[in-house]
Amino acid sequence: MTADQTPAQRLVGDFAPKLAELTDDVLFGDVWNRPELSPRDRSLITCAALVANGNTEQLHHHLERAKSNGLTETELKELIIHLAFYAGWPRAMSAIGVAKDVFGAKE
C-alpha cells in the first residue's frame, strides 16, 4: 500500500484490481462527475440509497463525502429520520449510529 493509491485501490486493489479500476474510473471518474446532478445532490441520493438498503458499511465514507459536498449534519440526520418511515426503523437506527460516529456525537 502506498500513499498515491486511491481509496478503492487500498481497499480491494490487491484482491480485485478490476473492481478498484471500475470504482475509480467509472463510478468516481465518470458518474460522480456528470454535470446533470450536482455533487451535493449525488451525495444526498447516495446516502439515501445506502440507508434504505441497509448498507451501513459504505455509509461512513459517503456521509463524510456528503459533508464535503455541502450537506449539513442537520440535513443528513433529517434524511435518516425521514427514511425511518419509508425504509424501516431498524435501518434508520443502524444508520444514525454511523452518523453519530461521523459527526463525533458524544454519549
As given in the structure block, the three cell numbers for residue 65 are 463525502
The CATH number of whichever domain residue 68 belongs to comes to 1.20.1290.10
The answer on 62 and 47 residing in a single domain is yes
pTM attached to this predicted model: 0.89
Task: Judge whether residue 106 has pLDDT over 70.
Answer: no
> What range defines the domain where residue 57 resides?
38-107
The answer on 107 and 55 residing in a single domain is yes
The answer on 50 and 92 residing in a single domain is yes
The phi and psi torsions of 2 (rounded to 5 degrees) equal -125, 160
Task: Judge whether residue 1 has pLDDT over 70.
Answer: no
Provide the pLDDT confidence category of residue 3 given band limits of 50, 70 and 90. confident
The number of folded domains in the chain is 2
The answer on 57 and 16 residing in a single domain is no
The answer on 59 and 8 residing in a single domain is no
Residues 6+ apart with CB under 8 A from 25: none
Task: Judge whether residue 102 has pLDDT over 90.
Answer: yes
As given in the structure block, the three cell numbers for residue 86 are 419509508
